[in-house]
Structures are given as structure tokens and as C-alpha cells.
Structure 1
Amino acid sequence: MNYRNRSLLDLAYKVPCAFNLPGICEGGMGEPAHSNQSRHGKGGALKAHDCFFASACRSCHREIDQGRTMSRDEKFEAWNRAYERTVLELWRRGLVEVSGRCEAGYLLGDAA
């Protein structure tokens, strides 16, 4: 069962489009564009986990999902870049934060 969280997806509407596809992007605030990569939980009619979204204007979202101007690999690369920009912008705007503490006894990223 893929992870679903409407509140998480709603964050996409609070940051600008992160794709900026030349000749396509209409700018402005985005909407959640789920990953189309199986490594993020995409499969058949099943959307990726809700944590794997990038903020996209309507035109960029349509191009990534149904457009024919880019290869599959180009779309994956564009989505990956937009995902990284989206996550960074969410942190910069204080829309995501860490709560609680690490229970494992070491900081995330430290060697176990």
C-alpha cells in the first residue's frame, strides 16, 4: 500500500513551479506532480507515494505526464531536478520541519 497524505500534497500549492520547462512553463504556484518512476512506488494505475511529488504548474505537469517533446529519461531527469528544488523550497519556507528526536541513538546520516 502506497503512502498517502493529503496535507503533504497540499504543500505543492504553496511553492512555485519547480520545473521551469523552456517554452512550456507558465510559472506561478504549483500543484503536486507525482513521480512516474517505479522506484518511488509508481506502477500501472497506482500513483507513487505522496512524499514523491514536485511542484509543477499545470503546463509542466501535463508535459511531464503526457507530453511528447522529451524522452522518458529526460522526463525522469526533469522530475528529479524539480523534486530536489521543491524539497529545498519547502524547507526554506518553513513548510516542513523536524519534530521529535531520533530514537536510533545517532544522528541521521551517521554510520551505524
Structure 2
Amino acid sequence: MGIVSQKLRNSACGQDCSFSIPGVCNHNPETVVLCHAPSEVKGIGNKSHDYHAAFGCSACHEALDQHRLPEKWHEYFYWLRGLQRTWTIWVEHGLVIIPVDPATAKRRRKKKAKMPSRPIPSRPFPKRAKERA
């Protein structure tokens, strides 16, 4: 059995299908589950690791599992797209944390100090009622 994460599995509930295969996808978030991609870990009675998976509706999951797409490269394309979309969601929600290399991290610029407000000398009239008096 591959690496199992109940948090990653539960994260699929209510998500949009990340495969969105045209003519196949049912676009129903209620049927979305974590679909495990083919990998070296996968075999008879074994699933891939939970991080080798993507959110998929029942229709897209079935089409990919049963190899019903017209060409093999279509499967590769939809698996890659699904994995990319799913990983983006996991990273955004903090389920997968990717450490930043301090040597290549962008450094934030220091904010410039704001200049104090001054009246504009070109104004022919006072700015506020107080200034009129």
C-alpha cells in the first residue's frame, strides 16, 4: 500500500473535477473523489500514494481507469492537468507545504517612508474651511 493521508482524501469532498474531460465530465462536485494515478507503486490490490492523485468526478475517474479515451496521450494529458490543479489546491490550503530555498527566495523591498502632507502651492483657493478663516 502506498502512503495514505486521510486529510488529502477528505480534501476531495465538494471540489470541482480537476480532469474536466470534454464530453465525459459530469461536473458534479458530489461525485468527486481522490483518483489515484497509475504509478510504480500501483499494482494488484495496491493504490498509488495519495499524493499521486487528483480530484475527479465519477465519470472522468471511470473513463481514465477503463482507458476509454481515444489515445494514450489524452490520458497522460488529463492526468497531468488533474495532478497540477489538485496540487495547486493542496498547496493553497496548506495540505502540502513546499519549503522555500532561502538562497533563491525573492527578497521584499523596503517600503519607502511616506512624505508628510503639504499644501499644494499652486492652489489659488484654500483647501479646507479652516484655512479660509
Report the TM-score, using the length of structure 1 for normalisation.
0.73
Contact 2:35-2:53 at 8 Å conserved across structures: yes
| 1:87 to 2:87 alignment | yes
Contact 2:8-2:95 at 8 Å conserved across structures: no
Runs of 4+ more than 6 Å apart:
none
Q: How many residues align?
A: 102
> Where do 5+ consecutive residues of structure 2 fail to align?
105-133
| Partner of residue 64, structure 1 | 64
3-state DSSP of counterpart to 2:34: strand
Aligned runs of 1:40-55 on 2, under 5 Å? 41-55=41-55
Structure number with greater CO (CA < 8 Å, separation at least 6) is: 1
Report the TM-score, using the length of structure 2 for normalisation.
0.63
| 1:19 to 2:19 alignment | yes
Alpha-carbon distance in structure 1 between the residues aligned to 2:54 and 2:13: 10
Alpha-carbon distance in structure 1 between the residues aligned to 2:61 and 2:74: 14
RMSD: 2.7
Contact 1:11-1:95 at 8 Å conserved across structures: no
| 1:73 to 2:67 alignment | no
How far 1:6 moved relative to its partner? 2.0
In structure 1, give the amino acid aligned to 2:82.
A
In structure 2, give the amino acid aligned to 1:36.
P
| Partner of residue 96, structure 1 | 95
| Partner of residue 36, structure 1 | 38
Name the % identity.
Answer: 25
> Where do 5+ consecutive residues of structure 1 fail to align?
none
Aligned runs of 1:3-14 on 2, under 5 Å? 3-14=3-14
